[in-house]
Structure 1
Amino acid sequence: MLYPEPIKPGNRIAITAFSSGVPKACHTRLDIVLNDLSKRGFHVVEGQCLRDNQLHVSASTELRVAELMAFLLDDSIDVIMAPWGGEVAMELLPHLDWQQLEKAKPKWLMGFSDISTVLSAISSKLGWATCHCTNLMQLALNQTDDLTANVFTHLATSIGSEFKQNAATHYEPQYADYSQEPNAVFHLTEPSCWKVLNTNRFNVSALEFSGRLVGGCLDTHMVLYGTDYFAPYNRLINEFEPAIYYFENGELTATQYFRALQSLKLKGAFKHATGILIGRNIAAEGKRGDGYDDLMALNQALGDLEIPVLYDVDISHQAPNLTIINGAMANVKLIKGMGEITQKLI
């Protein structure tokens, strides 16, 4: 693995919306989180592809590619962040100059949802560790839950060292409207607990497995798997090493959810996996009239696997989110319903 240098005060963080941009109604929130980065001691470099959003994107494909490439090749930049996800980051992938990027200094790329599309491509094509975590627009200093508040602390971990996170006790069912509440924090009101899908095969009171982490938003990863842009055993994981896959569902209905997971299974994605982590499902409310829901879909697709499948994990559009390093060696424990994950940067 090629790990970027640990994050520290004084680092330069470039902000560019290579997927959806920020409309004017949310600029107050954007200014808050950018100012909070400065208060944390970082130097903020604001891109041109950021403060607009037309037809799902911040700017044209050409402009977004050019700006992302410029930041990736600028070795004075230490971190690249987008404000939030979006819809069509996938369109950038074939336009990036991957040969030039092979010569660049590894940088931390951070975020989730459609941002994970680019994270997986960078990890698969370049072998860089990338960070699936809370998006920039949620990283205000007034957000104090442990998982969110410690993102930059975890990314300050030195190469060869490790950090541990415990499962959240509560989650937020619906996210805030930043155009109406620019200073909003998470409302973590619903009890949260990691659950085991295939309980008939494992001791759910004391479950443990290890492997290198890989995954992202299921909506895009289901179609990227098998391409150069999501090829875990290309540059990310040695062919003899185990993997832990993690996925979260952004918009898929129950039947689409089943097809996505079943497709990955049929393609052999889980052949060398020791376990799978499935995030809370924000699309769970979209149930069919016949009663078929996301949990039925999950069980139908993955319930027969001989490896542990944990669901309702803190990886989703329902905050808070774990900080997950693509390529890190992880150890996952579930002890009497309490989840724990330790990641070592090796």
Structure 2
Amino acid sequence: MIYPAPLEQGSVIAVTAFSSGINDAAKGRYQHVVTDLKEKGYVIIEGKCLMGNRKHVSASAEQRADELMSFLLDDTLDAIAAPWGGELTMEILPLLDFDRLKEAKPKWLFGFSDISTLMVVMSSKLNWATAHSPNLMNLVANETETLTANFLTNITTNTGTSFTQYASQEYTDKWPDSVTNTAAVLEPYLKTQWHWLVAPLSESSIEGRLIGGCWDTLIHLFDTPYLDLKNYAKQHEEGVILYLENVEMTPADLTRSILSMKFKGVFTHLKAILLGRSAYPDSDDKDDLNYYEVIKRHLSDLGIPVLIDMDIGHVPPNLTLINGALAKVGYEEGDWRITQSLI
């Protein structure tokens, strides 16, 4: 893996929307976040494909791809961030010149949701480490939730060293009202409980190279040139840990997605699976299929460990997960934890 330089005071972060731009209601929050980052010593460069959101996007696919390419090829930059995810990052993938990018200085890309659609491709095709993490719009200076507040510390980790995170104590299914209060923070109130759907046979933890993101979008990339897990696994003899989180797939959608992955042989390339909490609400009708029934029925027979209800994705908070890092995940000394080595 190729790790970008750690971010620090003076690092230059370019902001552009890979998919959804910033609408009028979100401009106050965005300015609040940018002000906080500048006060911390970061240099912020804003792209033209950022403000405005029409038909799910900030600009045409061609405009978004051109701006992203210009940033990716600009070696004065240290990171590229989208404000948040969206729906249509996939549109820009065929418009990127990956041969040219092989010669560029690696830069951090970070965030979650549709941002992961781009990040897994950069990690899979270019071996750039990328960071599945809180989104830019979550990075207010007064955030009190530990995993979110520590992102900027985690991303300062030096290549060759490691950092450890612990399961949150509580999570929330409600995003803060950042329109009314631009400095609004997360307010967790539900008990977090990571647990094994399928436990390791002998150890209390698992180890392997991380890659993953939003299940709703990655399902369309598996077994394509953009996310070739077979080749990724060949490059990493330690084994691959795939992490995923469901946003909008119904239990039936999720069933079809898992079966599609089985039909394509995706799971044969994996050492373990990590799942975030599902954001799709289960029906109150007990005769309806639900999320836990689906994952138990279709992921319990893979012959690999599966850890579920982790701090990943659209039911915050979010861990910082480095695509490409060598991770050790499990229950040790009375705590659920994940240690990532940037080696």
How would you bin the TM-score normalised by the shorter chain?
over 0.9
1:270 shift after superposition: 2.2
- Give the count of matched residue pairs: 343
Tell me: CA distance 1:22–1:286, structure 2 relative to 1, closer, same or farther (3 Å). farther
Matches within 5 A, 1:155-194: 155-194=155-194
> Could you tell me how far apart the structure 1 residues matched to 2:309 and 2:329 are?
14
Which residue in 2 is equivalent to 1:310? 307
> 2 CA distance for matches of 1:46 and 1:214?
28
- Contact kept? 1:195, 1:337, Cα under 8 Å: no
Q: How does 1:1-346 map to 2 (within 5 A)?
A: 1-198=1-198, 202=201, 207-234=204-231, 238=235, 240-286=237-283, 290-335=287-332, 338-346=335-343
- Tell which deviates more after alignment, 49-58 or 258-267: 258-267
With the length of structure 2 as denominator, give the TM-score of the two structures: 0.95
What do the CA deviations read for 1:36-90 (whole angstroms, capped 9, x no partner)?
Answer: 1111110000111111000000111111111111110000000010110000100
Q: Which amino acid aligns with 1:11?
A: S
**Offset of 1:197 from its aligned partner?**
1.0
What secondary structure is seen at the aligned counterpart in 1 of 2:204? strand
Once the two structures are TM-superposed, the CA of residue 96 in structure 1 deviates from its matched residue by: 0.7
Per mean C-alpha deviation after superposition, the further-off stretch among 137-146 and 320-329 is: 137-146
Shift of 1:7: 1.1
The amino acid that maps onto 2:167 is A
Is residue 49–residue 59 contact of structure 2 (8 Å, CA) maintained in 1? yes
- Partners of 2:6 and 2:20 lie apart in 1 by 28
CA distance in 1, matches of 2:258, 2:178: 32
Cα 1:337–1:300, aligned 2, differ >3 Å: closer, same or farther? Answer: farther
CA-based RMSD of the aligned residues comes to: 1.8
Distance in 2 (alpha carbons) for counterparts of 1:158 and 1:92: 31
SS of alignment partner, residue 270 of structure 1: helix
C-alpha displacement of 1:233: 4.2
Q: Distance in 2 between matches of 1:45 and 1:77?
A: 9
Aligned-partner Cα distance in 2 for 1:210–1:7: 26
| Contact 1:193 1:337 survives alignment (8 Å) | no
In structure 1, C-alpha distance between the alignment counterparts of 2:269 and 2:334, rounded to whole Å: 25
Unaligned runs of 5+ in 2: none
Distance 2:127 2:234 in 1: 9
Instruction: Return the letter of the residue paired with 1:291.
Output: D
Q: Which amino acid aligns with 2:54?
A: Q
Residues 318 and 100 (structure 1), Cα distance of their counterparts in 2 relative to 1, 3 Å cut: same
For structure 1, the 5+ residue unaligned runs are none
Give a deviation string over 1:133-182, Cα, whole Å, max 9, x none.
00011111111222111112111111110000000010011212322332
Q: Name the SS of the counterpart of 2:266 in structure 1.
A: coil
Give the conservation status (yes or no) of the 8 Å contact 2:197–2:307.
yes
Residue 335 of structure 1 and its aligned partner are, at CA, apart by: 4.2
Percent of aligned positions with the same letter in both sequences? 45
4+ residue runs over 4 A deviation = 286-289
2:59 maps to amino acid: A
TM-score, normalised to structure 1, is 0.95
Separation of aligned partners in 1, 2:15 and 2:290: 38
Mark the CA change 1:172 to 1:237 in structure 2 (over 3 Å): closer, same or farther.
farther
Pairwise CA distance, 1:239: 5.4
Mapped to 2, the partners of 1:95 and 1:162 lie a distance apart of 35
Deviations 1:190-214 (A, max 9, x none): 1001011136x757xx721100001
